[in-house]
Amino acid sequence: MVGLEVKAIEESAAGVVFEVEITPNRPDWLSIFGVAREVAAVTGQKLKESGKWKVESGEKTNPLSRRAILIHDPKACPRYIGRVIEGVHVVSSPEAMVKRLASVGTRSINNVVDITNYVLFELGQPLHAFDLGKLRGDAIHIRFAREGEQIVTIDGVTRKLTHKDLVIADNSGPVALAGVMGGKETEVTETTRNIFLESACFDPMLVRRTARRLGLASESSYRFERGIPLESALLGSDRAVEFLVRIAGAQKIGPHVDAGKKTSQKRKVILDVNRVQQLLGDAVDQKQIRQYLAGLGFELSASRSTKYDVRCTITVPWFRRDIKEEVDLVEEIARIHGYERIPSRLPAIRETTLVSSPLLGLQHCLRQELTELGYEETRQYSLAGQNLLKIFGQAGRPGLVKIQNPMSEEQEWMRPTLVMGLVQSAQKNFFRQQNGVRLFELSNIYTLSKGEPKESLKLALLLGGNRPRHWQEKEKEYQWWDLKGTIEAVLANLKLSGLKWERASLVWAVEESAAEIHHEGETLGILAQVSPVVLSQLDIEKPVFAAELDVEFLLRHSRQSSIRYHSLPKFPSVRRDIALELKESVAAAQVIALIKEKGGTLLEKVQIFDYYQGKQIFSGNKSLAFSLEYRAPDRTLTDEEVNHLHQQVAQGLIERLGAKVR
Amino acid sequence: MQPILDRLEQLCQEALRQIQNAAEPVVLEGLRVQYLGRKGKLAEFTAQMGQIPQADRPAVGDAINRVKQTVTTAFQERQAGFSARPPGKQFAFDITLPGIPQPIGHLHPLTQVIEQICEVFKGLGFVVVEGPEIETDRYNFEALNIPADHPSRDSFDTFYLEGGEYLLRSQTSTVQIRMMEKTKPPLAIVAPGKVFRPDAVDASHSFMFHQIEGLLVDKGVTFSHLKGALDLFAKRLFGKETKIRFRPHYFPFTEPSAEVDVSCLLCQGKGCSVCGRKGWLEIMGAGMVHPNVFRAVGYDPKKYTGFAFGMGIERIAMLKYGIEDIRLFFENDVRFLEQF
């Protein structure tokens, strides 16, 4: 296992074909020769050297066959080799070549074009052949296109060019997109007799941008994007010329016109042998390090070497532009040695001051609590489509976060509330014959705040349909009060008190059921019944209730971490009940607040235990019954004391709320 | 003699009939006394033996014994029929009716897998942290050694927010950078969370999924430590017979890099349809943190080394529980959720 992974093996007319995965850092593997080089390094076999295909240029050729090569921007094109080859016969390629090209998925065109493709696959050097006769003037320019220039590429499409596109041009205009695709006008056909062979290196980013902009990807552009070393250009040119002579009957070979730099800058990396050994668990010794690196083509020259400090200077071969620093060499050594031979040890982790965020702890507690209360945890997609937003009245509201590059309609928006997704889940479950659902989710919602996207952690709950069926009673539906009960339980467990329930305005809710939970003046969440208008659009026929709470708020206001014990009461309490007839619209909270006010410190607890409308009560009124518990910390209260107090409470209710005591 | 035998036979039939019809143990007991007791009907016959001629006595004696056997057996069988009922009282309160339902919910399987993974690493000393889902280019690419216009970006397609300044993170490695910027080494963290990649949704791909990232930075952290930590993790999560193997690979933010396989859970490494006959299942990427990443956050790569790993939670859950379709995690069908 050295990193060159064979994904598949197939038989073809040309022999066995290996499909190999090439990682982006190893462009030197993008050729048969590159792979062969690697296999030789790993197995220790000898590699047949390349570069033995020099073909000498013929006698002095006429001026027509000399091309001036003008590189306008050396950074864009560091090297360009052009060569004139005369007298070719453009016919079909020999069968062996056709088969081999087919085995790597390339169609045969004609012998000249095939040779350029063959050399690309064999040596990894992209080449291009122009019909010399179709090139105008005697200079070849490697320059950026001018705004407004066009080219018809070999696929017949006219491409508009910008000043960011690197092109090969003759005196009248662009003849090829550098590194990407050739032009139709100058392509080699059966009538071509003389060709101009290009073998060059182009800047990877420029090739990539042009290829992307025009939606063109070729074997050529793929290799340029990953970087072609300067040395490769000459090898490719020579090899192609050798084929052209052998297969295409080339008569006269012009000299190389080689513009730009000829060799890449030699790169040296210092290797600290001790450190390398330590990093690899002391699995490799110095001898092995030298052996592996030498096999891969690295040159080692020993430098400073004391008993404790051994450093080598490693010269990187020209075809390994990916090796930049010591860790890159560490990887080479490790993979050749074999990762499996590196020993396994457990790390000893030192203590730090870093601790897990309390928000994580709270999330864990909330999840546990809600599952124990009977709710199933859901996880929904963070993105939603316009349709769903419309159904819940969220489309077009301010602060929605939009996705620039969605793959479908369903991925256009980031959800501003978890309620939509929960109701969708409820719908799916109802369709699959569930009678009732209890769901919760603890996840982010996304909104824009002052133009900046913001994620907020929310806890959302949903109850829908019927309670679990029970043989003691008829099937009952969930109520708004059930969900309020869950919320009250969760908040009580966080030791959050002093909550106020206020009316809210929620576009997806039944109006009179929409409530906001306030704590110390801030809104911590909402609760409502989902409106039948919304439900009918989702084909839901059962009642659904939903709530959403802000978790960061819960963390900030939870008093769980500041619990202190209160001693238990020493004296008994006295209980008195009171039943009142009130107008329907008087809120229970208001009555309780008044009772507490009038009852004073000796009133320990107030609870509603009955709610009644019907016979004996005027229409428009309701009856609420409260149980009050009075207690003093230092004595047992007497009946007189309690009666007096209770009388004051009743009086206050009559006077301030117009209540009738029953 | 015959009349006696006839009367015996009649008695036997009568006894059997009454035994069959005995509705309660009390009644049965009464019959037993009546027929088989000391002063019972059969005993009467025995008492009258003295009046029977000598020659007939053996035959009659035999007959009496046979009847006694038959009746006794009948009694025993009938008795057994009663002992299923507790002796004595009958109750109307049916203890076999179901209890009043108090349904318990379930943590989502992804939550459970995340917690299991975190537990393993917490045990080693890692701290669990979280990071934002909405990120910038710097944290998602540049600081991770993935420059703009680099071919390696192709494998990290991302969703951008309108405006182009923000994106949805495509890997949880962003949290590594944030934590390293906030803290000085040593650092040992695991960071679970949602990630997003523009992808068509099918049985094995989803545009939104979950990953967990791990990072350990200190003086003297080696590749051996990476192997040790991940080996422990694999055994804890999948069973102590589990093996792992490392294959050289490439990530821009680690060097050396590896893809990590776990021995196939189903066939224990022998090869089956689940693992495509390989015997191994790929579960994560890992490697030693690249010095460029350290440079981006201000750590000195000469003093510190570190390892990092990242895995897809859905994949782990699908392997561990045998779930065949990733979309099930986000459909939230209660019949799926309650299985975990």
User: Domain check: are B168 and B315 in the same one?
Assistant: yes
**Strands B166-168 and B134-136: what pairing?**
antiparallel
CB-based contact (8 Å) between A367 and chain B? yes
3-state secondary structure of B318: helix
User: Domain check: are B75 and B193 in the same one?
Assistant: no
Q: How far is B72 from chain A (nearest CA, A)?
A: 46
User: Average pLDDT of chain A?
Assistant: 91
What is the domain range of residue B38?
A: 2-83
Q: Are A78 and A95 in contact (CB under 8 A)?
A: no
Minimal Cβ distance to B224: which of A343, A404, A444: A343
CA dist B121 and B225 (Å) reads 13
A358-560 fold? BirA Bifunctional Protein; domain 2 (3.30.930)
Minimal Cβ distance to B151: which of A226, A328, A357: A226
Residue B257 reports pLDDT greater than 50: yes
Residue B296 lies in a domain: yes
Phi, psi values for residue A158, rounded to 5°: -85, 130
3-state secondary structure of B19: helix
Q: Are A223 and B166 in contact (CB under 8 A)?
A: no
User: Domain check: are B154 and B248 in the same one?
Assistant: yes
Residue B92 lies in a domain: no
Give the pLDDT confidence of B171-229 residue by residue, as tens digits.
999 999 999 999 999 999 999 999 999 988 899 899 999 999 999 999 999 999 999 99
Domain(s) labelled CATH 3.30.56.10 in chain A stretch across 268-341
**Strands A139-144 and A68-71: what pairing?**
parallel
Query: Is B332–A439 a contact, with Cβ atoms under 8 angstroms apart?
Result: yes
Count of CB atoms situated within 10 Å of the CB of A15: 9
CA contacts within 13 A on the Cβ side of A142: 28
Minimal Cβ distance to B160: which of A368, A374, A405: A405
Q: What tokens were used for B223?
A: 């590749």
User: Domain check: are B189 and B300 in the same one?
Assistant: yes
Domain(s) labelled CATH 3.30.930.10 in chain A stretch across 358-560
Strand partners, A376: A439
Percent of chain A predicted with pLDDT > 70: 97
* Residues A260-280, mean pLDDT to the nearest whole number: 91
Task: Choose between A62 and A185: higher pLDDT.
Answer: A185
Query: Is B255–A472 a contact, with Cβ atoms under 8 angstroms apart?
Result: no
B57: CB partners within 8 A, 6+ apart: B49
Q: What tokens were used for A518?
A: 């306030």
Query: Confidence class of residue A57 from pLDDT cuts 50, 70 and 90?
Result: low
* Residues A630-642, mean pLDDT to the nearest whole number: 93
Query: Is A360–B98 a contact, with Cβ atoms under 8 angstroms apart?
Result: no
A574-661 fold? Alpha-Beta Plaits (3.30.70)
Interface residue of A349, A372, A375, A434 to substitute, partner B, most B CBs within 10 Å: A349
* Structure confidence at residue A62 (pLDDT): 47
Give the pLDDT confidence of B116-166 residue by residue, as tens digits.
999 999 999 999 999 999 999 999 999 999 988 777 777 778 999 998 899
CB-based contact (8 Å) between A473 and chain B? no
CB-based contact (8 Å) between A162 and chain B? no
Q: Are A630 and A569 in contact (CB under 8 A)?
A: no
CB-based contact (8 Å) between A281 and chain B? yes
* Structure confidence at residue A55 (pLDDT): 60
User: Average pLDDT of chain B?
Assistant: 91
pTM confidence score: 0.84
Residues in chain A: 662
Find the residue in A nearest to B302 (Cα).
A275
Q: What is the CATH number of domain A63-260?
A: 3.50.40.10
Query: Is A374–B104 a contact, with Cβ atoms under 8 angstroms apart?
Result: yes
User: Domain check: are B204 and B167 in the same one?
Assistant: yes
User: Domain check: are B30 and B163 in the same one?
Assistant: no
User: Domain check: are B179 and B66 in the same one?
Assistant: no
CATH top-level class of A268-341: alpha beta
Where do we find the tokens 């859970």? B265
CB-based contact (8 Å) between A460 and chain B? no
Residue A390 DSSP label: H
* Structure confidence at residue A63 (pLDDT): 47
Find the residue in B nearest to A283 (Cα).
B224
Final residue of a structural domain among B83, B118, B149: B83
Query: Is A357–B130 a contact, with Cβ atoms under 8 angstroms apart?
Result: yes
User: Domain check: are B248 and B115 in the same one?
Assistant: yes
CB-based contact (8 Å) between A425 and chain B? yes
Query: Is A280–B330 a contact, with Cβ atoms under 8 angstroms apart?
Result: no
Which amino acid does the sequence have at A615? K
Query: Confidence class of residue A448 from pLDDT cuts 50, 70 and 90?
Result: very high
Q: How far is A618 from chain B (nearest CA, A)?
A: 38
Query: Confidence class of residue A60 from pLDDT cuts 50, 70 and 90?
Result: very low
Residue B317 lies in a domain: yes
Give the pLDDT confidence of A135-180 residue by residue, as tens digits.
998 889 999 999 999 999 999 999 999 999 999 999 899 999 999 9
**Strands B208-218 and B187-196: what pairing?**
antiparallel
Query: Is B130–A3 a contact, with Cβ atoms under 8 angstroms apart?
Result: no
Q: How big is the A-B interface in CB pairs under 8 Å? A: 240
User: Domain check: are B158 and B298 in the same one?
Assistant: yes
Residue A435 reports pLDDT greater than 50: yes
Q: From residue A491, how far is each of A275, A488, A514, B285 by CA, in Å?
A: 56, 5, 19, 41
Residue B197 lies in a domain: yes
Chain A residues touching B249 at Cβ < 8 A = 3, 23
Residue A84 reports pLDDT greater than 70: yes
CA dist A653 and A658 (Å) reads 7
Query: Confidence class of residue B230 from pLDDT cuts 50, 70 and 90?
Result: very high
CA dist A29 and A50 (Å) reads 15
Final residue of a structural domain among B83, B101, B134: B83
The H or E element that residue A454 is part of is strand A452-465
Which amino acid does the sequence have at A118? Y
Chain B residues touching A26 at Cβ < 8 A = 250
Cis amide leading into B256 (omega within 30): yes
CB-based contact (8 Å) between A7 and chain B? no
Minimal Cβ distance to A455: which of B107, B133, B250: B133
Residue B312 reports pLDDT greater than 70: yes
Q: Where are the alpha helices (DSSP H) in A176-302?
A: 204-213, 219-226, 230-248, 273-279, 286-295
Minimal Cβ distance to B332: which of A357, A378, A382: A378
Which amino acid does the sequence have at A531? S
Q: Are B217 and B125 in contact (CB under 8 A)?
A: no
Residue A487 reports pLDDT greater than 50: yes
CA dist A441 and A348 (Å) reads 37
User: Domain check: are B329 and B282 in the same one?
Assistant: yes
Q: Are B41 and B35 in contact (CB under 8 A)?
A: yes
Residue B102 lies in a domain: no
CA dist B233 and A188 (Å) reads 60
* Structure confidence at residue B277 (pLDDT): 79
Query: Is A330–B183 a contact, with Cβ atoms under 8 angstroms apart?
Result: no
Domain count, chain B: 2
CA dist B209 and A412 (Å) reads 17
Q: Where are the alpha helices (DSSP H) in A471-616?
A: 480-493, 532-537, 551-557, 588-599
Query: Is A331–B166 a contact, with Cβ atoms under 8 angstroms apart?
Result: no
Query: Is A428–B332 a contact, with Cβ atoms under 8 angstroms apart?
Result: yes
* Structure confidence at residue A66 (pLDDT): 57
CA dist A410 and B208 (Å) reads 12
User: Domain check: are B79 and B113 in the same one?
Assistant: no
Q: What tokens were used for B283?
A: 């579960």
User: Domain check: are B77 and B116 in the same one?
Assistant: no
Residue A586 buriedness (CB in 10 A; 0-12 / 13-18 / 19+): middle
Which amino acid does the sequence have at B286? A
Q: How far is B180 from chain A (nearest CA, A)?
A: 11
For residue B274, what is the domain's CATH number?
3.30.930.10
Q: From residue A340, how far is each of A337, A344, B228 by CA, in Å?
A: 9, 9, 12
Minimal Cβ distance to B223: which of A279, A378, A453: A279
* Structure confidence at residue A580 (pLDDT): 93
Chain A residues touching B208 at Cβ < 8 A = 381-383
